[in-house]
């Protein structure tokens, strides 16, 4: 009986995850359509300030809800010699912060604030706002799929493999980093991992410390895309991939060393006691602190990535 229930829960979760990923893709696509400017032109237009090009990439990633889309644009600009390798690396690092916007959006308690948003939704029915209707619809599908992902984990049997794995993650956060990295590498979406982690937290089967470990693993898992791309891109673009990997791996190692402190800090600064908000804030805080530190030492960091690219990886 437990075996049949586990199979049913697995199928249910896969369908809910597919709905989440499809909704995220469609939401991202519609966000791009409603932009009042050309995405590639906006990134390529900034040629001087490292910080400005990085912030532009960060904001665009948050708007279009897809770091992969912005990174692909950056790679194409670098390979076409429209953007420098240095600016390209700054832009990619900016996407690391921008991508945390997804977690912030899906962790908002929409059910509590929906009555206050009804007048805004009615305004969207006006012809001039017609383009935004689909964007709002797919946001709703994102929230629905997130709730559906919670159901299979809400009543896990103690003998199930899922329960044992989650229990192991709760006991050993390092295992959580590994699981998060593998899951993200497999589905090629850190946002899907964030959604899953928030669902686990909402179901009450995972604690905040382990949830943070899972999200940290997602940062490493995103590097797999870059590793695959490294075999096909030019040497200049490969330097950007090296920088992204160093940024994420070093950041995650340091965060694991101070995981208890990070967990306590997130609990302290998060006004809401909701674990969903704490998970989303942990992801944003970690990436924002890592980004801030790297931007302070960006020039020597870039020099290291360039040296690795030119002398070690010939």
Q: Where are the domains of the chain?
A: 2-312
pTM value is 0.76
Given this model, what pLDDT does residue 202 score? Answer: 83
Q: What is the DSSP letter of 93?
A: H
Given this model, what pLDDT does residue 237 score? Answer: 77
The number of C-alpha atoms within 13 Å of 281 and in the hemisphere containing its C-beta is: 20
Is-contact 217 179, C-beta < 8 A? yes
Rounded-to-integer distance, Cα 66 and Cα 9, Å: 29
User: Which are the contacts of 13, defined by CB distance < 8 A and separation ≥ 6?
Assistant: 149, 152, 153
User: Which are the contacts of 107, defined by CB distance < 8 A and separation ≥ 6?
Assistant: 198, 274, 276, 277, 279, 280
Q: Give which of 307, 310, 308, 306 is closest to 88, Cα–Cα.
A: 306
Burial class of residue 311, CB neighbours in 10 A (0-12, 13-18, 19+): exposed
Could you list the mean pLDDT of each consecutive 10-residue stretch along the chain, which spans 314 residues?
A: 64 76 70 56 61 87 75 77 85 90 79 54 54 68 68 57 76 88 80 84 87 92 71 74 90 92 93 89 93 93 88 62
Burial 131-140 (b: 16+ CB within 10 A, else e): ebeebbebbe
User: Which are the contacts of 273, defined by CB distance < 8 A and separation ≥ 6?
Assistant: none
């Amino acid at each position: 009986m437990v075996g049949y229930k586990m199979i049913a829960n697995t199928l249910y979760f896969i369908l809910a995850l597919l709905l989440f990923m499809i909704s995220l893709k469609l939401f991202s696509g519609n966000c791009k359509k409603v932009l009042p400017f050309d995405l590639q032109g906006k990134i390529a237009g900034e040629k001087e300030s490292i910080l400005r090009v990085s912030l532009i990439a960060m904001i665009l990633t948050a708007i279009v809800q897809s770091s992969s889309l912005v990174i692909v644009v950056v790679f194409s600009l670098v390979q076409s010699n429209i953007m420098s390798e240095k600016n390209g690396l700054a832009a990619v690092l900016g996407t690391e912060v921008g991508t945390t916007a997804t977690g912030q959006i899906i962790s908002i308690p929409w059910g509590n604030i929906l009555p206050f948003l009804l007048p805004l939704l009615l305004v969207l029915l006006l012809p001039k706002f017609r383009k935004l209707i689909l964007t709002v619809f797919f946001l709703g599908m994102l929230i629905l799929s997130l709730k559906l992902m919670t159901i299979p984990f809400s009543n896990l049997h103690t003998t199930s493999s899922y329960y044992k794995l989650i229990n192991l993650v709760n006991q050993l956060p390092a295992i959580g980093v590994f699981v998060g990295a593998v899951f993200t590498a497999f589905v090629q979406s850190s946002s899907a991992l964030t959604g899953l982690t928030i669902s686990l937290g909402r179901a009450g089967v995972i604690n905040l410390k382990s949830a943070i470990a899972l999200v940290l693993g997602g940062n490493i898992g995103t590097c797999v895309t870059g590793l695959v791309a490294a075999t096909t891109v030019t040497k200049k673009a490969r330097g950007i991939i090296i920088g992204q990997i160093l940024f994420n791996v070093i950041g995650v190692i340091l965060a694991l060393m101070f995981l208890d402190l990070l967990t306590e800090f997130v609990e302290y600064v998060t006004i809401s006691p909701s674990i969903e908000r704490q998970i989303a804030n942990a992801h944003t805080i970690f990436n924002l602190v890592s980004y801030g530190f790297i931007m302070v030492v960006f020039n020597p960091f870039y020099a290291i990535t360039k040296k690795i690219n030119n002398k070690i990886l010939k």
